[in-house]
Structure 1
């Protein structure tokens, strides 16, 4: 019953990874590998004329970022499941892939058994992470671990204006304060967020939904 077979493509620029994946999947009776591609462009061309149920997608490709390619694949073929397969274990990468429509994220240290289990999970409509990625995602980020700082009404105002790109002089003029007072508030904000500079403070404030 070849009609019921899942069509799978591999997009990875390392032949050894492609070979390894093919060997791992040889035991999966219901999966047919329809193609291996070393560039995103080649795969997008293939996808125009060939339906692909699931694609194992590397993030580091020679011609395009896998993160952008994921969005492109989902735009052209919404029914294709994209499983990221990467050496990148940064939480931000995982989130970017999911935001662009990926159904899951696997690290390349995955075993054959786990790979097949993750593919089946994705085909059943569930978000699928390899064991190592589940551990990464369950650890809170640094800013989530910190308590949300308690800010006064004035500090919140100044924080928002700093985030809007205003200088101390601009803020002083807008709020009818002396530049010295604004500077004092700015120092207090950096202290409360426990950061060294304004960029880190704004990033933390956004993560903690204060701006």
Structure 2
């Protein structure tokens, strides 16, 4: 008989952790080797111990699960991380996958789906719930359609969204007011808007700065 799959759970809600434990307690193919309610506790576990699969909450109190996923994969490339989230937005799915997650489950997943996800990623494949897969496709298509802006234009855009004037932006970025004005006009042109209000509206509506 092969060794059970070692599962580690990261979630800031103890009740959810207990729920998964209860759900999987009779499964001989899965062994829960540890849990953590913060990113720091998760990091401490992996210093001395290991797991095959990690359930990763995206919303942690001390660090986002997206950043923690990147950190863990860089240090332990063989880890199979599955996002466990209430979020179905494509941005979250894309960022988790980009940072090395092998799967994406919603917190209302059934026992059957949880087991299927664990076994799928352990076998080297990706597992996305239908909702996550749909959201990811939509997000990828959206990213393809969105205009590309330069790094400097993005810096200016962030400050415009924060409400800074051209003078304040120039001061903050150590560039001339004319240069700021030029970047602002380029942004208006690229994003097909006519004023600051429309620019901010476009950013919010398309989650443009989340990419």
Equivalent in the alignment of 2:68: 69
Q: CA deviation at 1:24?
A: 2.2
Deviations along 1:23-76, whole A, 9 cap, x unmatched?
Answer: 222343211000111111112111111121011010111222111111111122
Classify 1:54/1:140 alpha carbon distance in 2 versus 1 (closer, same or farther; 3 Å).
closer
- Does structure 2 retain, via aligned residues, the 8 Å contact 1:59–1:84? yes
TM-score, structure 1 normalization: 0.70
Whole-Å separation in 2 of the counterparts to 1:92 and 1:105: 12
Whole-Å separation in 2 of the counterparts to 1:27 and 1:35: 17
TM-score, structure 2 normalization: 0.70
- Does structure 2 retain, via aligned residues, the 8 Å contact 1:28–1:116? no
Name the SS for the 2:93 alignment partner.
helix
Q: For residues 1-211 of structure 1, what are the structure 2 equivalents within 5 Å?
A: 1=1, 4-139=3-138, 143=142, 163=153, 169-170=178-179, 189=189, 192=192, 196-197=198-199, 200=202
Classify 1:189/1:108 alpha carbon distance in 2 versus 1 (closer, same or farther; 3 Å).
same
Equivalent in the alignment of 1:175: none
- Does structure 1 retain, via aligned residues, the 8 Å contact 2:191–2:199? no
Classify 1:145/1:62 alpha carbon distance in 2 versus 1 (closer, same or farther; 3 Å).
closer
Classify 1:193/1:15 alpha carbon distance in 2 versus 1 (closer, same or farther; 3 Å).
same
User: Aligned Cα RMSD in Å?
Assistant: 3.8
Gaps of 5+ in 1: 149-155, 173-178
Q: CA deviation at 1:12?
A: 0.7
Name the SS for the 1:13 alignment partner.
coil
Whole-Å separation in 2 of the counterparts to 1:11 and 1:169: 49
Gaps of 5+ in 2: 157-174
- Does structure 1 retain, via aligned residues, the 8 Å contact 2:103–2:121? yes
- Does structure 2 retain, via aligned residues, the 8 Å contact 1:83–1:102? yes
Whole-Å separation in 1 of the counterparts to 2:114 and 2:17: 14
